[in-house]
Amino acid sequence: MNVQAVSPAISQNESEPAPADRVDLRREFNEVGIGEVLDQLDRELIGLKPVKTRIREIASLLLIERIRKRMNLTSDVPTLHMSFTGNPGTGKTTVALRIASILHKLGFVRRGHVVSVTRDELVGQYIGHTAPKTKEILKKAMGGVLFIDEAYYLHRPDNERDYGQEAIEILLQVMESQREDLVVILAGYGDRMDKFFASNPGFRSRIAHHIDFPDYADDELLAIAELMLRDMNYKFTPDARGAFVRYISLRKTQPLFSNARSIRNALDRMRLRQANRLVADLDHVLTAEDIMSLEASDVLASRVFLNSSGG
């Protein structure tokens, strides 16, 4: 975010409060600490440039809205409910956590926590069960962000005895009446979310920000793997790195691939194979380098290489 100080020619003692009609934008930006959150998001997530750009735009809007309020300029609280679309493992939950932090730092929510739920936490199985379940979740989420994953499962028009519509009606009411104290983020696959919004126009009208999370490219998945390994004090040997590049290419063609989530699971299995390989020779004296290094054999033992149509 490009931020420049306002009116640099003003010779005002820094210890004195700024006049009501003037704000040092750089100081404001630094004091609220949203720059730290945006930097953290950059460190945590590889790629996703369109997503990060949109989050910075939202942060900029909220910063200006905060300043407008201080200057007593007429301004409605912006609608902040959001829709995140994309495949699993593309960073939607992580971004929701960072958005909650930004909202809290800028004073748009009281607590800044995230309550993450699916249909099961909101919809009951018999008459009279859904309303108290939904209201209890909303009570927990007040002052922060309610993240509803696979939100389209709330609506099941093919089931006459489904109670999801009751949860939807309660959510819509609260999203409108309590929008100064709660931000709702709906998440799921893009095509299914489109159908969900088409059948529930009340949701679409209350969602201000639709953010699409693209799949990761091969080089981004490799960078994600190396970042995860570095955080765990592991690393690839050169041969292992080359083998993992091949692994990514093969794994992406197979069913149930979940971007960064699948990469993390693959690394966990490689660590298991590495540990088994090391312990197989109890007479060997291990060095830190041995314990840190994943070798090509730890990668190539994956069944992805044995059967490219397997999981």
**What does 214-230 look like in DSSP terms, one character per residue?**
PPPPHHHHHHHHHHHHH
Q: What is the CATH number of the domain that holds 238?
A: 1.10.8.60
Question: Has residue 182 been placed in a domain?
Answer: yes
**Stretch (H or E) spanning 148:** strand 145-149
Six-digit token pair at 136?
């209890």
Eight-state DSSP code of residue 175: H
Question: Which range marks the domain in which residue 223 is found?
Answer: 218-306
**The domain boundary residue, chosen from 213, 239, 265:** 213
Written as one letter, the residue type at 197 is F
Over residues 123-171, the pLDDT tens digits come to 988 888 899 999 999 999 999 999 999 999 998 877 767 788 899 999 9
- Assign 170 to helix, strand or coil: helix
**The domain boundary residue, chosen from 197, 213, 229:** 213
**The domain boundary residue, chosen from 213, 229, 254:** 213
Same domain, 46 and 106: yes
Question: Sorting pLDDT into bands at 50, 70 and 90, what band is 296?
Answer: very high
Same domain, 55 and 90: yes
Same domain, 99 and 191: yes
CA distance 260 to 252: 11
Same domain, 41 and 115: yes
CA distance 184 to 80: 8
Please give the residue that has the higher pLDDT: either 158 or 179: 179
Domain tally for the chain? Answer: 2
Same domain, 226 and 248: yes
Same domain, 202 and 233: no
Same domain, 252 and 292: yes
- Assign 117 to helix, strand or coil: strand
Q: What is the CATH number of the domain that holds 109?
A: 3.40.50.300
Same domain, 50 and 188: yes
Instruction: Please name every residue paired with 84 in a beta bridge, in sequence order, or none if there are none.
Output: 187, 211
Q: Which residues of 163-183 are buried (b: 16+ CB within 10 A; e: fewer)?
A: bbebbbebbbebbeeebebbb
Cα of first residue to Cα of last residue in the chain, in angstroms, is: 41
Same domain, 233 and 266: yes
**C-alpha torsion sign, points 64, 70, 72, 75:** positive
Eight-state DSSP code of residue 232: T
Q: Has residue 97 got a pLDDT over 90?
A: yes
Same domain, 182 and 227: no
Give this prediction's pTM. 0.84
Question: Sorting pLDDT into bands at 50, 70 and 90, what band is 288?
Answer: very high
